[in-house]
Structures are given as C-alpha cells and as structure tokens.
Amino acid sequence: MARTADVVVVGGGVIGCAIAYELAKGGLGVTLVERGTPGCEASSAGAGMLAPQAESSAPGPLLALKLASKALYPDLAFELSERTGLDIEYETGGNLHCFLDEGDEAVGRAACAWQREAGLKAELLGRADALALEPDLSAEVRGALFLPDDHWVNNPRLVTALANAAAQERAAFVTGEVTAILRTGDRVTGVRVGDEAVRSAAVVLAAGAWSGQLAATAGLTLPIQPVRGQIVCLEGVPRRHHHLLHVKDHYLVPRVSGQILVGASVEWVGFVKQVTAEQIRAFLDAAMRVVPALGRVPIQATWAGFRPWAPDERPVIGPWPGLDGLVAATGHFRNGILLAPVTARLIRELLVDHAPSFDLTPFLPDRFLH
C-alpha cells in the first residue's frame, strides 16, 4: 500500500526542514523526502550569513522579506535550543564592510545613504573606529561601513536542529530520490520515490537548485539554475573575531569554534562541484589583505555548493497556478539561510491558515508563465 501524508516536502535543505517543522507544528502530517542527509547540499555549503543589508543593493519587497525573516531568528534560536539542545550560534556582532581604496569608500557611502533613507542602521567608520571593533585589520583598511543589524548563524547546525525539531513533531523523513511529482489532471497527488508512491493532497517543492528538474517531471517549467559557490575554511584563528567582514566581493564569517569561512564565488557552471585553484587563491588573497594574521593559520577545508537561482534573483514562493496542491518554496539564491524562517511561516500560512501575512505577488511562480 502506498504511503500517505497530508503534505510531502521535496528536499531536506534548510528550506524543506524549516517548512516540515512549521507544518508539523501546525498539525499537518508531513513526509519530507531527501536523497542525502538533511542539509547536505547548499544549506551546509553556505556561510550562514543573516545579512539583509550587506546582501541588498536597493529597498523593495525582497529586502522587506529578508528583514522579516531575520526578525524571526532570535526566537527561532531559542526555540531550537529548548527543543533540541542544539545551539545554532546566532551571532549578532554586525558587519564591517572594509574600505581598501576610494572606490570601496564611494560604494560604502552610497550603500550607507540608501540604507539610512530606508530606516536601517548604517554607519561610516574611520580607520580608528574600525580598528576599535576588529583590532587585527590590516594597515590597508582606511575605514568601513558598519551594519550592526547584519548577523549570522552556524548553518549546518541550524539544519540539523530544524530536522530534529521536525522529527520531534512527528514529521516523517524518507531517504530517497524523488523521480516524479505525480498529478491527475490539474491536481497534484503526491510524489514517486524510486519505485514507490507517496500520496498527498499537497506537495511543497523545496529542492533548491534541483527544483527545475523536478518541476519538469510534472510537465512544468521552472527556470531555476545552479550557481556554484566555493568557500575556504580557515581554523585555529588566534583572536576571536566578533564581526562579519566584507572586502571587495568577498566575505569572512567567524565561527565560535575559531574557524573563519572565506567566500564565495558566484559561478554559472552547471552541477560541477569543483573547488578551483584560482578561486581559493582569490579568497586567501582577500582574507590576508584585510587580516594579515590569517596567513599563518591552517586551511581546514574547501568546498562548493549550488545556490538555486531564478532569472530575476527572487525566491519562488507560492501556489503553482493551474496545478492544485503544488506549492513552490525555492530559488532563494544567496539567501536561503536568511529566508528559511519566513518561507516556512508563509507556507504554513498558505496550507494551514489559507491567509499569507506577506504580499507574495513578487515571489509567485506565475511570473515565469507569461
């Protein structure tokens, strides 16, 4: 007999696990299908930044969505710790965008101006004030843009905590590859996992960079592509760093453990999961330019993952037009960790309360059908 559920969540990354947790808390019978272990792809490959300000270039609905999601993190961190005993290392030190030259300063001044205009906290610092926050900065750093409200978490730990919390709420986890989204006419009826069907009235497509391939199994077009991001992880950093650092196009994210993650590339190379010499050199050059002491610490690991990219760089969240029961929750590109809590809340509001609290118009899958 086929397995049944109220909702099948396809994909066990941070988005799928957050949704499974939220829906199970909302009283639905959830089955999450993941071919690997929860969080084994992009969700663990990222650096865990919750940086709506550093990672936005203008106000608008996407920034509003990011800010709404970031606001959910303090309670989520507490709740996950209470329920699972796992500390997701929610860090609130803020972001220093370091200036090495006049071009950096001009970019920083412009960002500071629009962000303040939008009511966000942003401050231009001279060298002395930047050094007061991070004493290891190099002699090349002439100032910085300080964004105190950009934060970060330990993202692999976050996904594990969400998966554990979902399991505690009796979400079922199935390990296997979804080979088809099943439909009868204009209704979704479940998914096929290997040779078996899991029947459900609703399917949430949260398969990250693989979402387009899965949509195609139901005859649907969803133009999600993988965008590779590489990272190098340094360890044994002698002084504890308390801020995210940005320098040029690179970022440095400190972990409580004494690691610093340096990234990331943004590459349209398909599903080729390679780490390349030229990218690692660029990361190390940037890291040592801003904090020379990092030249003396060991490299712990390098890795790459695939961000799910939609052509307009907005996430795809909401019901699929013309196929009842299918809901998209994908395309989060560079902000999957940040956007997971609000995405999960919106999917719960769609499937349980039938009243989303946020205007989803800019994020609906409809936009690709015209």
Q: Is 304 in the site for ligand GLY (CB under 6 A)?
A: no
Binding-site residue total for ligand GLY (CB under 6 A)?
Answer: 9
CB of 334 to ligand GLY, least distance (A): 3
Q: Is 156 in the site for ligand GLY (CB under 6 A)?
A: no
Q: Is 263 in the site for ligand GLY (CB under 6 A)?
A: yes
Nearer to ligand GLY, 66 or 183 (CB): 66
Q: Is 48 in the site for ligand GLY (CB under 6 A)?
A: no
Output the CA–CA distances (angstroms, integers) from residue 180 to 12, 176, 352, in the order listed: 16, 12, 25
CB of 325 to ligand GLY, least distance (A): 31
Window of 47-55, 68-76, 164-172, 218-226 that interacts with ligand GLY by CB under 6 A? 47-55
Q: What region does 270 belong to: left with phi over 0, alpha with psi -120 to 50, or beta?
A: left
Q: Is 307 in the site for ligand GLY (CB under 6 A)?
A: yes
Nearer to ligand GLY, 241 or 246 (CB): 246
CB of 217 to ligand GLY, least distance (A): 27
Nearer to ligand GLY, 117 or 249 (CB): 249
The tokens describing 10, both together, are 């396809």
Residues 6+ apart with CB under 8 A from 239: 135, 136, 293
Q: Which residue is nearest to ligand GLY (CB)?
A: 334
Q: Figure out which of the listed residues 190, 226, 229, 365 binds ligand GLY, where binding follows CB under 6 A.
A: 229
CA distance 205 to 185: 18
Nearer to ligand GLY, 50 or 77 (CB): 50
Nearer to ligand GLY, 167 or 252 (CB): 252
CA atoms within 13 A on the CB side of 215: 28
CB of 62 to ligand GLY, least distance (A): 13
What are the DSSP calls for 228-257, one per residue?
EEEEEEE---SS---SEEEETTEEEEE-TT
Applying the rule CB under 6 A, the residues between 329 and 358 that interact with ligand GLY are 334
Nearer to ligand GLY, 149 or 169 (CB): 149
Window of 45-53, 141-149, 285-293, 340-348 that interacts with ligand GLY by CB under 6 A? 45-53
Q: Which residues pair with 229 in a beta bridge?
A: 305
Nearer to ligand GLY, 104 or 267 (CB): 267
Nearer to ligand GLY, 264 or 316 (CB): 264
Q: Figure out which of the listed residues 19, 209, 224, 264 binds ligand GLY, where binding follows CB under 6 A.
A: 264
Query: Long-range contacts made by residues 90-94, C-beta under 8 angstroms, separation at least 24?
Result: 90/151, 90/152, 90/153, 91/151, 91/152, 91/153, 91/242, 91/254, 91/256, 92/151, 93/151, 93/242, 93/243, 93/244, 94/146, 94/147, 94/148, 94/149, 94/150, 94/151, 94/243, 94/244
Q: Is 144 in the site for ligand GLY (CB under 6 A)?
A: no
Overall residue count recorded for the chain in this entry? 370
Q: Is 49 in the site for ligand GLY (CB under 6 A)?
A: yes
Backbone angles phi, psi at 357, to 5 degrees: -85, 0
Structural contact between residues 250 and 262, judged by C-beta atoms closer than 8 angstroms: yes
Q: Which residues bind ligand GLY (CB under 6 A)?
A: 46-47, 49, 55, 229, 263-264, 307, 334
